[in-house]
Amino acid sequence: MKGKGTYGELKRYFSQECNCGTIIIESEGTITSNTEIPKPDIVLKEFWRKNEHFADLFNAFLFKGQQVLKAGDLEETDTDISGILKRNDLGKAYQKSLDVVKKTAHGVDFVILGLENQEKIHYAMPLRILQGDVMLYLQECKDIQKINGEQNQYSSTDEYLSRFKKTDRLHPVITLCVYYGEKDWDGPRYLTDMLKIPEGYRTLVSDYKMNLLEIRKSDQLLFSDPDVENAFRLVRMIYNRQFSEINQLYQNFEMNPEIGLMVGSVTKTPKIAKQAAAIKAEGGRFNMCTAMKELEQELKQEGKREGKREGMILKLISLVMRKAAKGYTPAQTADMLEEDPALIRRIYDAIEQTAPEHDMEKICELLAEASRIYN
């Protein structure tokens, strides 16, 4: 059956609703229900909180590898940017936290740097990042207005009314969204990508560019920190199934277990994550090849199991098609096959929609779509 993504959706669907004899279909990938690995957002927050990692990430993305940001100049600040947005005296609470926020000294001033980790494609991401930036600006503006109100030293009534002096300035906010999903990002990158702009108005609409870094496409970035460089490279190689290349490149290479923990949690490979977590607790060094060999073997076994699962899925659909051709109702078929009536009803619907060809791949696509609607 073609279409790996479609089968992945269908497999998750049948794992929830289909008995298929005694076979239980697991979710896509190598993680089973009883496998516990650290959540990526927690691991990534810890990884990027290290000034050396944070500075290298921003230097690579913003300054093409030039060492503009210095780890020693970074200072972590509050990540909670929640607040209340008011309009016409009506207040609406807005809750938002960035994953990591740091200030960097820039002469006598500073720049605010925010980092947002993102696992899934978010089709409103530019607006979401813009909201965070606006809240940071509003937060600093309120702080300045509070100080001005206490000092009560204004040079004009205009300054008094706004509580913001003509010479007051906010500090720039730069937020970087790090997307670590396996799929290519196909979402918007600019605010205008989300807008339906009438002809002749585009040049009049203010835009906002989102700083987006895709780990999957980060091979051109110039990193200086070996931990960041190895972490990004390993994630890319695992996504591209370059297991032999990993074994060759990292055969005798021992690394910081934090790299293995990040790579394992991001790519959802529990063998790597669990080994790295155990070694980190012991204070040792992590060898990627040892974990990769076990992972490669596990993937081969998973491939065999997946073939069996796919066969069971296709077999069930074929059985239902034969029952339908003989005139049995969905309820009768569900009773005879001892399956969930709702599931059989959806298979009947898919069969009817693909008549008269009854293309098996199309039926599976329709069932996958049904899984997203009903679950």
Phi and psi (nearest 5°) for 349? -60, -45
pLDDT of residue 223: 97
Which residue is listed with tokens 């069930």? Answer: 316
pLDDT at 343 over 90: no
pLDDT tens for each residue of 212-260: 999 999 999 999 999 999 999 999 999 998 888 888 888 888 888 899 9
pLDDT classification of 368: cutoffs 50, 70, 90: confident
Cβ contacts of 53 within 8 Å, gap of 6 or more: 47, 225, 227, 228
pLDDT tens for each residue of 158-214: 999 999 999 999 999 999 999 999 999 999 999 999 999 999 999 999 999 999 999
Query: Rounded to whole angstroms, how far apart are CA atoms 239 and 183?
Result: 9
Rg (CA), the chain: 27
| Rounded mean pLDDT, 29-52 | 71
Q: Is the dihedral of CA 260, 265, 266, 267 positive or negative?
A: positive
Type of residue found at 292:
M
Query: Rounded to whole angstroms, how far apart are CA atoms 173 and 261?
Result: 30
pLDDT classification of 13: cutoffs 50, 70, 90: very low
User: Which candidate, 305, 311, 181, places its Cα nearest to that of 235?
Assistant: 181
pLDDT of residue 4: 42
Residue 367 buriedness (CB in 10 A; 0-12 / 13-18 / 19+): buried
pLDDT tens for each residue of 203-223: 999 999 999 999 999 999 999
Task: Report H helices in the chain.
Answer: 4-17, 40-49, 51-62, 125-151, 157-162, 226-239, 243-249, 257-266, 270-282, 288-325, 330-337, 341-353, 360-374
Query: What value does the mean pLDDT of the chain take?
Result: 81
Query: Rounded to whole angstroms, how far apart are CA atoms 14 and 185?
Result: 27
Give the C-alpha distances (Å, rounded to integers) separating 16 from 49, 69, 348, 350: 38, 49, 18, 18
| Rounded mean pLDDT, 264-281 | 85
DSSP assignment of 49-88 equals HSHHHHHHHHHHHHSTT---S-GGGEEE---B--EEEEET
pLDDT classification of 107: cutoffs 50, 70, 90: low
| Rounded mean pLDDT, 154-159 | 96
pTM of the model: 0.68
Instruction: Identify the residue with better confidence: 144 or 375.
Output: 144
Task: Sketch the domain layout of the chain as residue ranges.
Answer: 4-33+302-374, 40-224
Which token pair is 63? 């300054």
User: Which candidate, 211, 124, 142, places its Cα nearest to that of 173?
Assistant: 211
pLDDT classification of 22: cutoffs 50, 70, 90: very low
| Rounded mean pLDDT, 336-349 | 87
pLDDT of residue 252: 81
Query: Rounded to whole angstroms, how far apart are CA atoms 258 and 273?
Result: 9
pLDDT classification of 370: cutoffs 50, 70, 90: low
The full length of the chain comes to 375
Give the C-alpha distances (Å, rounded to integers) separating 280 from 199, 253, 258, 260, 286: 57, 16, 7, 9, 8
Range with the largest mean pLDDT of 83-87, 91-95, 147-151: 147-151
pLDDT of residue 26: 31
| Rounded mean pLDDT, 21-42 | 46
pLDDT of residue 233: 95
pLDDT tens for each residue of 293-303: 666 666 666 66
